[in-house]
Structure 1
Amino acid sequence: MGVVLIAGGAVLERGAPTWALCVPLAIACAGVVVRQRAPLVSLGLGVVAVTIDAFVGPSLATVLTFTDNLYAAALYGPARFARWLLYITAALAVGAGAVAGLLAENWWMLAVMGVQAGLVLVTPVTTAIVLREQRDRAAAERVRAEQVAHLAELDRQAAVAGERTRMARELHDMIANHFSAIAIQSTAALSRKDLDPATVRRIMESVRENSVQGLAEMRAMIGLLRQEGDDFAEATRPRLADAGTLVERVARAGLVVELRVQGELRELPASVDLAGYRIVQEALTNALKHGGSPVRAVISYEAGRVLVSVENALVGRGARLPGAGAGVIGMRERARLVGGSFEAGLAGDGDVWRVVADLPVGDDQGTAVDEQAVLFRFAVGPSETEAGGVGSGGGGVSR
């Protein structure tokens, strides 16, 4: 296209042959070839070409090609160099107009040459700088989007890990209580050869009851995992007020258990209610697996908080059942998740294991049921004690 322009007469005639005008054009076009790989080399070739063209022409083809050399240097070259190139081309445009005006002694020539030099020198550099800023901004936005996506993925992974931990904690607390009683009762029944049929029947009834209740809670949890709303979860949520059922179940497995409820019973927040229930459940399960009678559980409703305490005697023998070591960890996690505190360890003279959880309610109002302490005592009857402490009931309940 440059050759076509030269052949068409788009040059300032100075008597130079046509081939001489093609030499600076070829040099400038060589700069276009390396514009991305070596933008400063492209600019250097363009400066050489336009300088030669000024002596033999100048020609419109070489000047137009030189504008691409400037554009490439500002776009692909160093950012600082692009800014300096803008200052230099602006100064050259003003200087070219001033020189032309002085030589022609015509201020109109100053304006015309200044505008032409600005179009040739300043416009390509300005365009390149604007495009460069847009590209840098787009690159920054891409990096930012990648960072946001990475953070979102980390949040998702943390949510999945938290949900898996919560599910593991729920399954552990729910299953351990039922199946610990089943394992202990069935082991005792198998180890004793002198049990009468009535005692064996009571043991099997208790085993069946724990199995049915465990399956019911498992179905409830599966339903919770499948449902999307919160109504079903609220209907099946275990409550601290149902701790008597846990105590009675442990008593049927062979322990003497005492439950004391103090203060004003109130409607607790769902998270606190569930945490308290699970802590009592796990503490009683540990007493059944690792401890002995008597077991004392105290639920105290106080202003702004609920105190849960479970203590059991320690026996010299080993644990009835092996443990996974996650019980105390799970109880501590439950207490911390609702902003409470948890302690577990030896008490008294070292012959008692005590679990204490302080759960904040954040609400000092409640519905009074009984201002006096309510005491429930669950114990196995004489026949079950003689049978190895594995009876299914028959114990007295005092209040």
Structure 2
Amino acid sequence: MPLRPGTPARTEVAVPGAVCLVAVTALLLLVPAVQADPEAGAGVPQPGSAAWWSGIAVVVAQALVLARRRAHPRLVLGLVAAGVPVAALAGLGEVIGTTSVAVLVAAYTATVVEAVRRTAPALGLAAVLVGVGTLIAQPADGAPILVQLGAPLAQALGIVVLPASAGVVVGSRREAAQARARQVEALSREHGARVEAAVARERAAMARELHDIAAHHLSGIAVMTGAIGRQIDVDPAAAKVAVQRVRAETSAMLEELRTLVRLLRDAPEDTERPVEALAAVPALVERARAAGVDATLTVLGSPAEQWGAVGPLAQLAAFRTVQECLANVVRHAPGARCEVVLDAKDPAVFRVSVVNGPPPAPVAPLEAGLDARPGGGLGLVGMQERADLTDALLHYGPEPGGGWRVTLGVPTQREAEAPRPSARVDGAAG
């Protein structure tokens, strides 16, 4: 039997015991009062009589049945109400009201535990039983029919309907409080889910930044240290120059990491170094050339005129794309020629392309200390995520004659363009 949410379904002894105590005490107290006025107590059973003991037995039975009022509220209501006509037939007479205490409790509990539409038949049956019991115990012989029925009807309303109405009010308030509690809990769970999603997005952004910074600089450092190992004995002067380049590359990586930490701390007074933008791409290519990459820069159109139409997040995405592509050349195609193209001929889209040829010699990843397996990194994943965040279009894939091409198209009028699907190539190097 479904109970209202939050209603305990356990046996309670305190209330049935109290009901039994009240009813028995009433029977015991009424007897001396009636004995003091025998004419007024003509309808009251004498102590020790069969009717008197029958009344005691009925109220005790009602109290025992009430112990299960929350588990079976409608059944209990019908049983305790049936005790009223039973006591009336046993001759309880004028003190029939002592059997109504249990009916009051059962009617209230039934409407608190269950919805009123489910308990309505049981309430109607209880009212009829109480009315019949009152009519048997207190007959109004010779009175008009309306008078004879009026007293039992009033007794039934007072004993069944009034406590049931109070139970409906209490149950409704309880359900409203529980609904508010469930709503608060749902809002709390929703807030927690949003916080977790935001944290996940921030973690992904941090991972992209760390990968782009570390992969670019560490790839160059790995190549230069490999050259130092070969030059240190045969060309010490060149080895010293390479060491200075390693030091410069390390300093640049540390500075970028410091900038990232400042941004994560959200301390405006510390963010003196600007976030990388398209204007920094030429310097990025120069650093790659200084690290030994055969890189060139080609400019088509007037990029500076379009830089203002590209948002800072999109400019950072373009910068990181070029940075990652140069790092991939060092990692997967050392010695290959690489060309960076800034194409500003289309006023609606600013395109950044990085094209490299095949490596002049087979790559030995274990000797270089690098993982050159196709698809073994997260570079292209980070590029794609940045492109998705800025509504840019990313293309990448192998060139017909060998090598690799990456093209990023950044819209300069983002509000006029809808997000477009990205073109990916399986098995790409990262």
- Normalization by structure 1: what TM-score? 0.79
Structure-1 residue corresponding to 2:295: 257
Within-5 A mapping of 1:235-246 = 235-246=273-284
**Deviation readout 1:87-143 (Å, 9 max, x if unpaired):** 556788999999999973275776665444212111222222333333334444444
Query: Deviation at 1:208?
Result: 1.1
> Of 340, 346, 351, which aligns to 1:307?
351
Secondary structure at the aligned position of 1:59 is classed as helix
**Deviation readout 1:370-392 (Å, 9 max, x if unpaired):** xxxxxxxxxxxxxxxxxxxxxxx
Secondary structure at the aligned position of 2:336 is classed as strand
Matches of 1:141 and 1:102, distance apart in 2: 55
The structure-2 alpha-carbon separation of the partners of 1:151 and 1:242, relative to structure 1 and needing over 3 Å to count, comes to same
Higher strand fraction: Structure 1 or Structure 2? 1
Query: Deviation at 1:36?
Result: 2.5
Paired-residue identity, % = 28
Structure 1 residue ranges without an equivalent (≥5): 365-399
Matches of 2:279 and 2:70, distance apart in 1: 76
Matches of 2:286 and 2:201, distance apart in 1: 32
Answering whether residue 413 of structure 2 is matched by residue 362 of structure 1, we say yes
Matches of 1:310 and 1:77, distance apart in 2: 72
**Deviation readout 1:143-196 (Å, 9 max, x if unpaired):** 443333333333222222221111111001011111211110111121235653
Matches of 1:265 and 1:44, distance apart in 2: 85
Within-5 A mapping of 1:1-399 = 1-9=22-30, 14-17=43-46, 18-55=52-89, 56-57=92-93, 58-76=95-113, 81-86=118-123, 104-105=143-144, 114-192=153-231, 195-227=234-266, 235-261=273-299, 262-263=301-302, 264-267=305-308, 268-291=310-333, 292-301=335-344, 302-315=346-359, 316-318=361-363, 321-323=370-372, 324-347=376-399, 349-362=400-413
The structure-2 alpha-carbon separation of the partners of 1:222 and 1:182, relative to structure 1 and needing over 3 Å to count, comes to same
**Deviation readout 1:24-47 (Å, 9 max, x if unpaired):** 222222222222244344224302
Matches of 1:97 and 1:248, distance apart in 2: 106
User: Do the aligned residues in 2 keep the contact of 1:97 with 1:111 (CA within 8 Å)?
Assistant: no
Matches of 2:297 and 2:155, distance apart in 1: 98
Structure 1 residue identity aligned to 2:245: S
Structure 1 residue identity aligned to 2:401: G
Secondary structure at the aligned position of 1:325 is classed as coil
256-265 vs 280-289, which moves further: 256-265
Matches of 2:392 and 2:208, distance apart in 1: 17
198-207 vs 326-335, which moves further: 198-207
Matches of 2:254 and 2:306, distance apart in 1: 29
User: Do the aligned residues in 1 keep the contact of 2:85 with 2:134 (CA within 8 Å)?
Assistant: no
Secondary structure at the aligned position of 1:171 is classed as helix
**CA-atom RMSD in angstroms:** 3.4
Structure 2 residue identity aligned to 1:322: D
206-215 vs 150-159, which moves further: 150-159
Structure 2 residue identity aligned to 1:71: Y
Query: Deviation at 1:314?
Result: 1.1
Matches of 1:166 and 1:184, distance apart in 2: 27
Matches of 2:64 and 2:87, distance apart in 1: 15
User: Do the aligned residues in 2 keep the contact of 1:28 with 1:65 (CA within 8 Å)?
Assistant: yes
Matches of 2:82 and 2:129, distance apart in 1: 16
Matches of 2:145 and 2:293, distance apart in 1: 116
Matches of 2:235 and 2:44, distance apart in 1: 132
Q: Which has the higher contact order (CA 8 A, sep 6+)?
A: 1
Matches of 1:103 and 1:300, distance apart in 2: 112
Structure 2 residue ranges without an equivalent (≥5): 1-21, 35-40, 47-51, 416-430
Structure 2 residue identity aligned to 1:59: I
